[in-house]
């Protein structure tokens, strides 16, 4: 960047918003993700984009704003400290989310709960917050839940994240779909919340133990 060039205008500046388009880097700043993630969103159709005659990608500001509004995120850290567990729950059914949230509210363990409605939203949340525990079903539409978990486990930066899956599938059905990543904890449906609480408590204790 030219040190003599003026700083870029704030992305929420009306003059910038009026243009109706953003570069990949500007979209990444707005969504608080990496440019690579923005490219994935474009390829998957989550963001509307096109290329100029010069080959530069431009992304619709309206599609970015719509994605920001649709994001489902929440939770408040309770008991901030080394043992606080950040848990991301991927669930699109309101009744199930309310059930899980009500249970978490009664736990004594320090938990920061985050929520995602689908696999794509989960990817954004994972990159932003690096949760300790991912809780998901295998209906992570629009992406296949098995493929979603396998892709995550293959990334070195997420190998320390614990996977918890709730599914009605039996052992044969799971194996027929190629199995789950090594180390995945599988529960039945509905998700046994007291059992999950014990798992989260174990994760909290492990975080309090100094490494090395």
Model confidence at 88, pLDDT cuts 50, 70, 90, reads very high
Q: How confident is the model at residue 9 (pLDDT cuts 50, 70, 90)?
A: very low
Same domain, 47 and 95: no
From CA 187, how far away is CA 164, in angstroms rounded? 8
User: Considering 70, 96, 115, which residue would you say is the last residue of a domain?
Assistant: 70
pLDDT digits (tens, 9 = 90+) for 38-82: 877 787 677 888 888 888 888 988 888 877 765 543 443 343 456
pTM over 0.85: no
**In the prediction, which pLDDT does 19 show?**
56
The answer on 150 and 96 residing in a single domain is: yes
The verdict on residue 198 lying in a domain is: yes
How many whole angstroms separate alpha carbon 147 and alpha carbon 140? 9
Domain extent at residue 42 = 14-70
> Which of 41-50, 67-76, 127-136, 202-211 bottoms out in mean pLDDT, i.e. has the lowest?
67-76
C-alpha count within 13 angstroms, C-beta hemisphere, residue 99: 13
pLDDT in tens, 20-43: 888 989 988 888 777 877 877 787
């Amino acid at each position: 960047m030219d040190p003599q060039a003026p700083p870029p205008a704030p992305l929420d500046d009306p003059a910038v918003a009026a243009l109706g388009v953003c570069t990949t880097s500007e979209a990444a700043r707005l969504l608080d993700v990496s440019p690579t993630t923005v490219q994935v969103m474009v390829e998957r159709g989550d963001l509307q984009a096109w290329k100029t005659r010069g080959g530069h990608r431009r992304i619709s500001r309206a599609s970015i704003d719509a994605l920001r509004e649709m994001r489902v995120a929440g939770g408040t850290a309770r008991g901030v400290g080394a043992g606080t567990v950040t848990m991301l729950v991927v669930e699109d059914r309101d009744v199930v989310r309310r059930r899980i949230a009500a249970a978490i509210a009664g736990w004594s363990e320090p938990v920061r709960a985050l929520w995602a409605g689908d696999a794509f939203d989960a990817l954004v949340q994972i990159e932003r917050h690096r949760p300790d525990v991912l809780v998901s079903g295998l209906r992570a539409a629009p992406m296949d839940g098995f493929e979603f978990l396998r892709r995550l486990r293959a990334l070195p930066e997420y190998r320390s994240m614990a996977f918890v899956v709730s599914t009605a599938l039996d052992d044969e059905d799971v194996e027929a779909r190629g199995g789950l990543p090594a180390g995945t904890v599988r529960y039945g449906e509905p998700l046994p919340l007291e059992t999950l609480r014990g798992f989260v408590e174990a994760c909290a204790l492990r975080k309090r133990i100094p490494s090395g």
